[in-house]
């Protein structure tokens, strides 16, 4: 294998714990109780990248990783829905919520569609496919889900059937021609 990509989900934020659509907030202090165990389980990396979001940058710091910001790892832009709970959005905009789940190109919240997030992720993976070495990428649930369905060749609507926990890892490997899903799970359990 030429390239290895380990995607790590950022630490849990207060909004995340309350079931709210993401905003740019720092992780909870307790999010890193197991950071030492996780950091010691990480393999040497040739590159460490992080989403521009505060949660991802702070996760990298908590894991003792010096990371470079990579805009392609950004969380989906939820615009009007950011900071609101699923229930609030469902009550305020049931048609928009239905469209969002049914059509990956829909962005009824005025932000970014799921398809746009998937295109960003695919572009990043294409760029890395021929690179030798190990890349660690600190990012968020939606970009990780999109990477998984991209590699599996599954329909984009499959993202809603994948659960990505805070501080979990997903590892991909590439032979320069294609990516394979190598492992996925809770980072401390490797």
Per DSSP, the three-state class of 188 is: helix
Q: Could you report the per-residue pLDDT of 96-134, keeping only the tens digit for each?
A: 999 999 999 999 999 999 999 999 999 999 999 988 999
Higher pLDDT, 43 or 107: 107
Question: What mean pLDDT do residues 153-169 have?
Answer: 93
Q: Could you report the per-residue pLDDT of 10-33, keeping only the tens digit for each?
A: 999 999 989 999 999 999 988 877
Q: Could you report the per-residue pLDDT of 45-98, keeping only the tens digit for each?
A: 999 999 999 999 999 999 999 999 999 999 999 999 999 999 999 999 999 999
Looking at residue 187, its pLDDT comes to: 52
Q: Does 142 score more than 80 pLDDT?
A: yes
Looking at residue 43, its pLDDT comes to: 73
pLDDT band at 1 (very low <50, low <70, confident <90, very high): low
Three-state secondary structure of 27-79: CCHHHHCCHHHHHHHCCCCCEEEECCCHHHHHHHHHCCCCCEECHHHCCCCCH
Question: What mean pLDDT do residues 25-42 have?
Answer: 79
Number of CB atoms found within 10 A of residue 54's CB: 15
């Amino acid at each position: 294998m030429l390239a290895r990509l380990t995607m790590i989900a950022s630490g849990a934020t207060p909004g995340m714990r309350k079931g709210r659509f993401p905003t740019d907030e720092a992780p909870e202090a307790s999010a890193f109780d197991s950071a030492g165990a996780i950091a010691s389980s990480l393999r040497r990396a040739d590159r460490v990248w992080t989403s521009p979001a505060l949660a991802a940058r702070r996760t990298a710091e908590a894991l003792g990783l010096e990371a470079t910001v990579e805009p392609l790892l950004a969380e989906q832009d939820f615009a009007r829905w950011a900071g609101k709970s699923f229930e609030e959005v469902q009550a305020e905009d049931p048609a928009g919520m239905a469209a969002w789940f049914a059509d990956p190109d829909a962005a009824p919240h005025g932000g970014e569609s799921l398809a746009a997030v998937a295109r960003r992720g695919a572009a990043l993976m294409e760029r890395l496919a021929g690179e030798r070495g190990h890349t660690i990428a600190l990012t968020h649930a939606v970009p990780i889900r999109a990477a998984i369905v991209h590699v599996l060749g599954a329909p984009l609507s499959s993202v809603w059937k994948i659960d990505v926990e805070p501080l979990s890892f997903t590892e991909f490997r590439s032979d320069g021609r294609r990516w394979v899903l190598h492992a996925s799970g809770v980072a401390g359990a490797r």
